[in-house]
Structure 1
């Protein structure tokens, strides 16, 4: 599967996901992604490679040893790494190809925001809601 940042400066390839896709609602993911949760999956380092733009990457240490890597041009977060961990955490929403699976679990439920309806009983639209 291939993936990229918003501006296309950074591109990567993933051979396979190493975990189910999950939604993470931890405080740092919420702040870093400016969203109620981050959708992610583990990927083994040997199954991940940068194709172009690696020199455009910046990183931020959001907690001891955890580096969030993002495009220095557009700010898209792409992966995070942590010292001693056997996998990278891939930001699934930046995949350009379909991972052929859907999210299977939510983590950090204790950090979920009160204003978000995490159930799937709300109206859904392919793009904008009618009349917008």
Structure 2
């Protein structure tokens, strides 16, 4: 057990987050996302599982140790609802609240069309499959930097 590390962050997830560099993308996905087939194309090669954990709770834990990239407009992006790209489902509102809480300000997510999201996910560093059962609980988070003191 480590101090000040959210207990839902598994050893494999902690190692993955520590291994990522500036600009690397991390997928947080729901249970319907093709996590295994997409993850095979990433650096980690297998999905990191957080069963029983909502997407928002997973994002809260991850952002407790991972900085978002301040060099891009949308370091957090959501999968768009098919045919309704401006619709924001509850799961996405919950994740947005966690991003804003972690950053101490409002920082709206960008959005990506479903199939473009799959393609972007294939280029990510890793896939984290939360236990999120609601549709459109899929997100990309871009790793930022921590400035020297």
The structure in which a higher percent of residues are strand is 1
Is the structural similarity TM-score above 0.5? Answer: no
**TM-score, normalised by the number of residues in structure 2:** 0.24
Larger RCO, structure (CA 8 Å, separation 6 or more): 2
**TM-score, normalised by the number of residues in structure 1:** 0.26
The structure in which a higher percent of residues are helix is 2
